[in-house]
């Protein structure tokens, strides 16, 4: 039987008002054996979204840091993939970082986006870099952070679509600045910053709706 159920006592987006409650919920869920063993997902990929209001990004990242420490105390290993940090690491490794800093002010927004998307192809560059980090350590769950910082040249649904080929064993939790919405009319969508609604992704679960 599925563990993913509606919880009327908790909003399905983290806000300043419910941050402490959601942080406690995340600790209970992620540390549970059922979550880490991917039980109750009806054979779906073990991908989860933790949507939060963009206005609390700084507080949310502090909460993620604390959550990792609390999980470590419970013997739960977390591999955090911060997309922004990963991008900088790749750009420096490819020798593009200095060039980008020198030319950033002369490039238009569209030109910069095109340059970065050319360098940071999701399928051939980003996913192999993530797999390399997965292979280099042992972990129980993957956290994906830095989603808002890499927009618009990296889109969260592209990361998830490509990652589901290689991250099938341990659960993945993406911290998303916006809303993850479901409706019969439009299906599921990731509303980045609660404004942009063109990122369709259907296979993740809202972790705030998941029973412990």
194 pLDDT more than 60: yes
Contact 27, 207 (CB under 8 A): no
Better pLDDT: 65 or 110: 65
Residue 183 pLDDT level (bands cut at 50, 70, 90): low
Integer Cα distance of 62 and 106 in angstroms = 35
pLDDT at residue number 5: 43
Q: How confident is the model at residue 6 (pLDDT cuts 50, 70, 90)?
A: very low
Longest dimension (CA), the chain: 56
**C-alpha dist (Å) from residue 188 to 15, 73, 126:** 21, 35, 24
Peptide bond between residue 27 and the one before it cis (omega within 30 degrees of 0): no
Helices (H), 31-96: 33-36, 57-73, 83-93
Question: Is the per-residue pLDDT at 72 higher than 90?
Answer: yes
Q: How confident is the model at residue 42 (pLDDT cuts 50, 70, 90)?
A: confident
d(CA 210, CA 25): 9
- The predicted model gives 167-171 an average pLDDT of 90
CB atoms within 10 A of CB 188: 17
Find out whether 76 and 85 touch, Cβ atoms under 8 Å: no
Q: Which residues contact 33 (CB under 8 A, 6 or more apart)?
A: 39
Of residues 33, 30, 3, 1, the one with CA closest to residue 143: 30
Chain centroid to Cα 202, Å, comes to 14
Q: Are strands 187-192 and 172-183 parallel, antiparallel or unpaired?
A: antiparallel
């Amino acid at each position: 039987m599925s563990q993913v159920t509606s919880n009327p006592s908790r909003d399905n987006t983290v806000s300043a008002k419910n941050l402490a409650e959601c942080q406690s919920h995340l600790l209970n869920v992620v540390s549970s054996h059922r979550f880490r063993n991917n039980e109750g997902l009806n054979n779906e990929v073990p991908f989860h979204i933790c949507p939060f209001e963009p206005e609390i990004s700084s507080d949310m990242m502090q909460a993620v840091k604390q959550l990792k420490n609390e999980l470590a105390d419970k013997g739960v290993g977390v591999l955090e993939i911060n997309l922004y940090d990963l991008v900088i690491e790749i750009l420096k490794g490819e020798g593009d970082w200095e060039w980008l800093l020198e030319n950033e002010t002369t490039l238009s927004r569209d030109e910069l986006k095109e340059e970065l998307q050319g360098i940071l192809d999701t399928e051939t560059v980003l996913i192999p870099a993530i797999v390399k980090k997965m292979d280099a350590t042992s972990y129980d769950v993957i956290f994906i952070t830095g989603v808002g910082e890499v927009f618009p040249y990296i889109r969260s649904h592209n990361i998830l679509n490509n990652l589901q080929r290689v991250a099938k064993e341990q659960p993945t939790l993406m911290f998303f600045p916006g809303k993850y919405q479901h409706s019969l009319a439009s299906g599921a969508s990731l509303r980045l910053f609660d404004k942009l609604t063109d990122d369709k992704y259907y296979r993740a679960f809202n972790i705030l709706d998941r029973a412990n």
